[in-house]
Structure 1
Amino acid sequence: MRIALIADTHGHLDPRVADAVRGADVLVHAGDVGDGIEAAMAPLAARIVIVTGNNDPVDAPWPESQVLDLPGGSLVVVHGHQWPAKTRHRKLRDRFPEARAIVCGHSHRRLEDTDQTPWVLNPGAAGRSRAYGGPGWIELIADSDRWQVRTQSFEPPTRRRSR
């Protein structure tokens, strides 16, 4: 099963990320979505999963967290702003010990912390707002006996100069 993980679009999904995730079995957005992004995600994958982030409206229709039952284990989706940066991974693992992996956003920094279970995965920003190292995403391949992750990032868009 192919799961595409994105986060922190803040109202802009980089078109290169959109093209790369197209056709995923599940497209997961780990919060700070922004206007129009849910509609932009709809044609990209068979199933869409979104959680709310600290920059989404209080009345956003998405839950604060979700658990996906996947082949070989569960994936927890949460934005991550609920825990301080220094202790975030430990606290996420303490809160969700039954998960095989946890995807979170918030920091806009892409990382794969797979040294212990549950893994903590942050796809970084998939838009233009603080997309450190360029916009990107993480691909998770979940089989009943093995999970694999692959990160992909793109060059930051060039800024147009005013004349």
Structure 2
Amino acid sequence: MRIDLIADTHGRLDPRIAEAVAGADLLVHAGDVGAGIDEQLAALADPVIIVAGNNDPADCPWPVEQVVDLPGGRLAIMHGHQWPARTRHRRLCERFHDARAVVCGHSHRRVIETDGQPWLLNPGAAGRTRAYGGPGFLRLTIIDERWQIEPHVFEPWRARRPRR
């Protein structure tokens, strides 16, 4: 089973990521989606799970958190803006203590913490906004209830030079 994890598109999904995640068995977006991205994701994979982030409209159709049962454990998804940076990871792991992994966004910084239980995963930004180290996503592969996580990171977009 191939599950691709993205976050923080802010209205722009990097086309290299769109190509890479197309056909996933499950596509997860951990918030700060932006206009039109949900339709774009629906064309790439089925099903798609999206949770709301702090930059998504209050009336958006997505829940604040979601938990999905997968072979080998539960995957919890929450943007993570509800807590300050210094306690965010601990609080997410406490909230979803019975999950195998927790996916979050918000910081735009890629995190793969698999030493403890639950794992804490932040795919980093999948758009152009503050994509530290380059836009990217995480791929979770599940084979016979064994989970493996792999980062996919692309070269940062070069800033355009102003016309003279």
Partner Cα separation in structure 1 for residue 79 and residue 152 of structure 2: 20
- For 2:126, the equivalent position in structure 1 comes to 126
Q: What is aligned with 2:117?
A: 117
Structure 1: gaps spanning 5 or more residues: none
- Match of 1:40, SS? helix
Secondary structure in structure 1 of the residue aligned to 2:25: strand
Contact in 2 for aligned 1:21/1:27 (Cα 8 Å): yes
Q: Pairwise mapping of residues 51-66 of structure 1 onto structure 2 (< 5 A)?
A: 51-66=51-66
Separation of aligned partners in 2, 1:144 and 1:117: 19
Letter in 2 for 1:159: A
Q: TM-score, normalised by structure 2?
A: 0.97
Measure how far apart 1:79 and its partner are: 0.2
Q: In the aligned structure 2, how far is the partner of 1:20 from the partner of 1:111?
A: 20
Cross-structure match for 2:95: 95
Does residue 73 of the first structure (1) align with residue 60 of the second (2)?
no
Deviations 1:98-126 (A, max 9, x none): 10000000000011011101000000000
Matches within 5 A, 1:13-32: 13-32=13-32
Query: Over residues 56-115 of structure 1, what are the superposed CA-to-partner deviations in whole Å (9 max), with x where a residue is unaligned?
Result: 000010000000111110000000001221111111111111100000000000110111
Q: Does 1:159 align with 2:163?
A: no
Gaps of 5+ in 2: none
User: Which residue does the alignment assign to 1:143?
Assistant: 143
The amino acid that maps onto 2:119 is W
CA–CA separation in structure 1 for the residues paired with 2:119 and 2:3: 15
Which residue matches 1:6?
A: 6
The TM-score, its normalising length taken from structure 1, stands at 0.97
Contact map agreement 1:101 1:120 (CA 8 A) in 2: yes
CA distance in 2, matches of 1:124, 1:69: 23
Give the aligned length: 163
| Alignment of 1:44 onto 2:44 | yes
Instruction: Give the share of equivalent positions with the same residue, in percent.
Output: 65
Residues in 2 aligned to 1:25 and 1:53: alpha-carbon distance in whole angstroms:
23
State the alpha-carbon separation in 2 of the partners of residues 136 and 117 from structure 1: 24
1:158 CA displacement: 1.4
**For the Cα contact (< 8 Å) 1:72–1:143, is it kept in 2?**
no
